[in-house]
Chains A and B, each alone.
Chain A
Amino acid sequence: MIKAILIFNNHGKPRLIRFYQYFAEDMQQQIIRETFHLVSKRDDNVCNFLEGGSLIGGSDYKLIYRHYATLYFVFCVDSSESELGILDLIQVFVETLDKCFENVCELDLIFHMDKVHYILQEVVMGGMVLETNMNEIVAQVELQNRMEKSEFVFISRM
């Protein structure tokens, strides 16, 4: 199970947070700060796994992360997930974002947090991996966007 997905930038500003277990808002912020603190002090050439987030999880949980340019993608998972599998999943997610936003950059995530959430919802659902096939994910996201557009046209015509 995935317990949380956090995306934040090099300064620790959250760009997307998705907890699959309830934490109060202030606790969420503390977790983000702690995670950022743990992740940011690591060199780029060390391994992508990390144990010991004291706020989230416990011994069964790991932080698995990837660092892309200005953004950190951090998944907090338990031992039922394959570490390398999650690393691949992050890659899939980022590539999907890249397709949906056409050359994704931090600004896309900043201004379209909702859209990023919708894309993520097609990849992970309730803490479990829903789909790993990128084409399928992109297709579903686009179908839904088209539906939204058609509704909007409908509304503005009224």
Chain B
Amino acid sequence: MALKMVKGSIDRIFDKNLQDLVRGVRSHREDEAKYISSCIDEIKQELKQDNIAVKANAVCKLTYLQMLGYDISWAAFNIVEVMSSSKFTYKRIGYLAASQCFHDGTDVIMLTTNQIRKDLSSPNQYDTGVALTGLSCFVTPDLARDLANDIMTLMSHTKPYIRKKAVLIMYKVFLKYPESLRPAFPRLKEKLDDPDPGVQSAAVNVICELARRNPRNYLSLAPLFFKLMTSSTNNWVLIKIIKLFGALTPLEPRLGKKLIEPLTNLIHSTSAMSLLYECVNTVIAVLISLSSGMPNHSASIQVLYTHTHRLFLKYLGLLAMSKILKTHPKSVQSHKDLVLQCLDDKDESIRLRALDLLYGMVSKKNLMEIVKKLMVHVDKAEGTTYRDELLTKIIDICSQSNYQYITNFEWYISILVELTRLEGTRHGHLIASQMLDVAVRVKAIRGFAVVQMATLLDNTTLLAGSGQHKSICEVLYAAAWICGEFSEHLEDPVHTLEAMLRPKVATLPGHIQAIYIQNAAKLFAAVLNGQQGTPDCQTMQESSQLLIDRLPLFVQSADLEVQERASCILQLVKFIQKLQHKEVEVGEEVTALFAGELNPVAPKAQKKVPVPDGLDLDAWINEPPSESESEDEKPVAVFAEEELRHARPHHTEVDEKELARRREARKQEQANNPFYIKASPTSQKDSTGVEHIPVVQIDLSVPLKVPGMSTSDKYLKLEEERRQRERKERGKKEKKKKKKREKRSGMGRRHDSGPESEEDIAPAHMVDIVTEEMPENALSSDDDEKDPNDPYRALDVDLDKPLADSEKLPVRAHRPTNILKSPADDGEVQEVPKEPKKKSKKEKRDKEEERKVRLLWLRCPNGEIQCTCTKSSKHKKKKQKKDKEKEEKKRKKQHGHSGDREGEESVQNGTLEEEPLPVCDIQGNLQNGSQVVVSIIFENKSTSFLKSMEFNVLDSLNSKLQRPEGSGPHDGLTVPFQLPPGVSNEARFIFSVQSIVMPQRLKGTLTFIVKADDSSTHEKLDFKLHFTCSSYLITTPCYSDTFAKLLESADLKGTSVRLQEVSLPFHHLLAKICFHHHFSVVERIDSCASLYSRSIQGHHVCLLVKYAHQTVTIDAKCDESSLLGNVLEEIKKTFSQS
């Protein structure tokens, strides 16, 4: 022992430690990757050593490499080893590495449960601390369930250091295992009164996190927090509590009244800016909740604003404003200029915040003005990201709430057109979808839109020519479609038709060209229809000639869609031309091709279609496809993507009633709100005052100014004029009314025609916003917004209800003692845990059945494997006939190298089959202890030459493909030969196997190059290797006396199985068992025989086979019952197949 230690420390001297590694990496700047890969090789060597110090050093270095971006998950097991060291130094290294790289998907985590439990109960507080810290980073639902009780206990540890960590980690436990929240909560609450400030702070932390998600459940804690707030001096705790109160006050207005005073005290006394800010924030929340009931708090608001200004941090000020905005839009809207100023700030964070605010600040009144300012910023903005952000915000602002604030859609279309002039924007899509949306849904605007779009199309060269950023040409997609669909509004359809078929169009992306062609056809139909009946048929002939001249260009297109449409339409036009020469009227027929109107459909419409009676959506229409099939489905994604492109933008649709309801609610709120500035003559000045602001025509050198295009600016002026006119008229009317009224009653009420409130602004022209179609008798449930995956929903539980027995946290107990304690007295309790087991068995059976189906599907009736020929001859598929297998996820990995055992073994014989290419046959050999040799025969059945074959298998926890030193865990092995057509060859691969009691299925791929005469292609073949339990058995001769002794010994556990309707002769049956499952016959008497086999790890398997009346009974014994069970299962399979 001592010698080993000495040897270890000597080794250490020669090992590189972390510092050396860092130094090395720094001195190999040029070939860092190469140096690091050599370091990783060294680390691998170090990890193989027995010395824990060396291992820990290696793991420490790996942690560093992880930071540089290297995957270290392959060393997960070594990390667990280091974690379980008894030395604090190494343990800490192990836990650090684990916390950096373990996650829910790391399979070795399940091995750590007991180690962590041991560390948690360690007498050394730092062992416990380190374990808690590590666990907080990689806790999984399983760990949370198993350890919740241990951590609960630690919450009352004597050392505050442990207590605070235990309290804090409980939040993570709650998230992963929500059932623990109720049982643990009382103790958590206790910790709010802990004498140690650290523990107290941790408890506040956890409860605040919890309350943030579901504040209602924590209202009852308010008095406790109130006490803490007035007593605590820890700023961090205070901030947390104050934030929590901010979330609670909206739910309980009475709380707000109480808060104002202590909060104002804090504001005046604290020196910490962070605390001050949070106080101000919460005061805002309080005031908002109070303002509806309490008369006058303007004084406090004043305090608030002065403080907001004192907080020089504009960013936080804006953030606070956005909170006020949600409930009191008016009070923020008065600061519009301030916010607009912030758009000029050089700090992007501030600009983006301001943009966000603007989104909420717009109204019908100021929309145009705000957007105009934004447009100015768009032109000035440097850097495409910010400009793109501006662009999306403009569109967001305008389109919000179903275009609620847009009064003039002509203006909006012109804004969109102006936006297309932006160079290098990424949001062509967005603009296009807006154009489509508006044109489709606002009927009145179509005429204007079409004219604008036609102009856009006419300028194709400008758009397409503008550089490498192709995104903007998406706009043309919308333009072409609009012109085609609503062609009746076109002024000069022939001209537009010509514009759509210019040769330059062929440089556009395929999907846009396709739209061009389709819509050219629509236009053509419109031209024909328009000219119908006129004596002059020259235009018609000209336009058909135009199509015939131009379309051949697109027929040659490389894009399938374009080509197909073009050739289709070309032929159609040729036919029409023929008819024209015969002077047949075709206009109507051609128009009929495109008859029917497209209606907008609500994005949720599909979801709302009610399920008809008697239709079960969950029932299978066909049997579920096998796994291998599902992999072939990938190409579908191409179409899905395509669909997305055409998908219309999502809107938060609000129907008219809802709108009216909201408006009503807002009015109500404003009426009750003392801070709401009601319409007054002074503010009228403001709104009309816009005209007095000298409007400087900003003529920045806009390079792409398109002549003849409307600019949005003029609409701003027009709109103002229009509104003023309307106001005057209304004023007149009202005056008249007033006069009348005054005449009638002496005391005429004062009634000022103040600035128009929102509702008074009439839209410029009657705009019919078509609502989106919904299916008939749609379900009106609107709760589909909730995200079922929200992890916090599970934590929404009532905490005040007393605990039920079933909710107690699972307590670790040894199962045998459990049984001893309660042998008979309460059978019911024992019944309970059994139930899930049964269920799981049933589930398993179901799964098995499913699997059977799949297997049958794979197999042809005559036992051979079917080949499905798909598409081209190069395509291939490999399927493997396999016996059934059991899932073995939960099995724990057996660690340690089981001693070298000699033996031989044949891994079962699945006939691999695939299409024209290789047929494989697996014959396995076992050389030693835990290794399995798999020989695979590759046969090339195709007519091409195969080379560069690479064989790779996805390792499982239990079985690993042995790869040469230095290659990564996912590298493939090169097959050392090439295959000419019709030739077969054999290759051997070694697998290391840990546990043999369960069958195992490994997925793998074979990649290779197919060399045809003129070309070579890279191909891939997926296959599965099935290691059955029988394949771990070795045919071993055994004498009858040894056999008898074996049977007598008590170690063997027995089981039996019965096979019915076996029509084979008995000796065939025996031969079959011996061949497929590697048994040897010990003795045979009439229709009774004893068989023996041994597993590669030395398990004895004895069978007694009896045969009578077509029924076979097999009594079996083995020292490993699960192994035996699986072998018998496999024997059963063999006979059920034949």
Contact = CB atoms under 8 A, between A and B. Distances in A.
Interface of A: 1, 14, 16-18, 20, 22, 24-26, 28-29, 42-43, 46-47, 49-52, 80, 82-85, 87-89, 110-111, 113-114, 117-118, 121, 125-133, 136, 140, 143-144, 147-148, 151-152, 155-156, 158
A151 B89 contact: yes
A28 B69 contact: yes
Contacts of A51: 349, 352-353
Nearest to A59: B356
Given A126-B169, A126-B171, A126-B172, 14 more contacts: A22-B103, A47-B349, A82-B243, A85-B274, A111-B18, A114-B64, A117-B63, A118-B96, A128-B202, A129-B205, A129-B236, A144-B88, A152-B89, A156-B9
Most buried by B among A46, A80, A126, A136: A126
Contact of B53 (A28, A49, A155): A155
A152 B197 CA distance: 33
Nearest to A126: B136
Given A82-B274, A155-B53, A118 B92 contact: yes
A125 B1108 CA distance: 69
B66 interface: yes
Nearest to A13: B68
A114 B63 contact: yes
Contact of B234 (A28, A82, A132, A148): A132
Contact of B273 (A25, A84, A158): A84
B837 interface: no
A45 to B, nearest CB: 9
B119 interface: no
Given A25-B69, A125-B132, A80 B212 contact: yes
A131 B96 CA distance: 19
A155 B9 contact: yes
7 contacts: A28-B69, A46-B349, A128-B171, A128-B206, A129-B201, A152-B89, A155-B9
A110 B22 CA distance: 7
A148 B172 contact: no
Contacts of A129: 201, 205, 236
A41 to B, nearest CB: 9
A84 B274 contact: yes
Contacts of A85: 235-236, 239, 274, 278
Given A114-B96, A155-B53, A26 B69 contact: yes
A151 B88 contact: yes
Contacts of A158: 2, 5-6
B314 interface: yes
B1030 to A, nearest CB: 39
B315 A49 contact: yes
A47 B313 contact: yes
B133 interface: yes
Contacts of B161: 140
A148 B104 contact: no
B96 A84 contact: no
B427 interface: no
Nearest to B272: A88
A126 B349 contact: no
Interface in B166-206: 168-169, 171-172, 197-198, 201-202, 205-206
A89 to B, nearest CB: 8
Nearest to A144: B126
Contacts of A52: 352
B93 interface: yes
B22 A111 contact: yes
Contacts of B682: none
B1075 interface: no
A16 B67 contact: yes
Contacts of B67: 14, 16-17, 113
B458 to A, nearest CB: 37
B69 A29 contact: yes
Contacts of A24: 71
Contacts of A1: 209
A22 B103 CA distance: 6
Contacts of A156: 9
Contacts of B212: 80
Contacts of B274: 82-85, 87-88
A43 B349 CA distance: 12
Nearest to A139: B161
Contact of A20 (B137, B164, B319, B347): B137
A80 B346 CA distance: 27
Contacts of B87: 151, 155
B70 interface: yes
Nearest to A110: B22
B18 A128 contact: no
A125 B71 contact: no
B70 A46 contact: no
B416 interface: no
A158 B53 CA distance: 13
A125 B69 contact: no
Nearest to B64: A113
A5 B164 CA distance: 21
Interface in B95-140: 96, 100, 103-105, 126, 132-133, 136-137, 139
A1 B60 CA distance: 27
B1127 interface: no
A113 B64 CA distance: 7
A131 B198 contact: yes
Contact of A155 (B5, B201, B240): B5
A121 B67 CA distance: 16
A35 to B, nearest CB: 14
A114 B212 CA distance: 34
Contacts of A18: 100
Contacts of B346: 43, 46
B316 interface: yes
B350 interface: yes
Give 10 closest A-B pairs by Cβ, nearest first.
A126-B136, A84-B274, A22-B103, A46-B347, A29-B69, A47-B315, A132-B236, A85-B274, A148-B89, A158-B5
A43 B63 CA distance: 33
Contact of B316 (A20, A46, A84, A148): A84
B208 interface: yes
A144 B554 CA distance: 75
Contacts of B314: 47
B486 interface: no
Contacts of A17: 67
Nearest to B105: A22
B349 A125 contact: no
Contact of B168 (A87, A125, A155): A125
B636 to A, nearest CB: 26
B697 interface: no
Contacts of A42: 347-348
B19 interface: yes
Contacts of B72: 25
A47 B243 contact: no
Contact of B88 (A43, A111, A147): A147
Contacts of A130: 164-165, 168, 198, 202
Contacts of B19: 111
B715 interface: no
Most buried by B among A1, A50, A82, A156: A82
A80 B278 contact: no
A130 B168 CA distance: 7
B35 interface: no
B136 A125 contact: yes
A101 B1120 CA distance: 57
Interface string B1072-1084: 0000000000000
A85 B67 CA distance: 27
A82 B278 contact: yes
Interface in B1-24: 2, 5-6, 9, 18-19, 22-23
Contact of B70 (A25, A121, A125, A148): A25
Given A25-B71, A49-B349, A158-B5, A80 B126 contact: no
Contacts of B319: 83
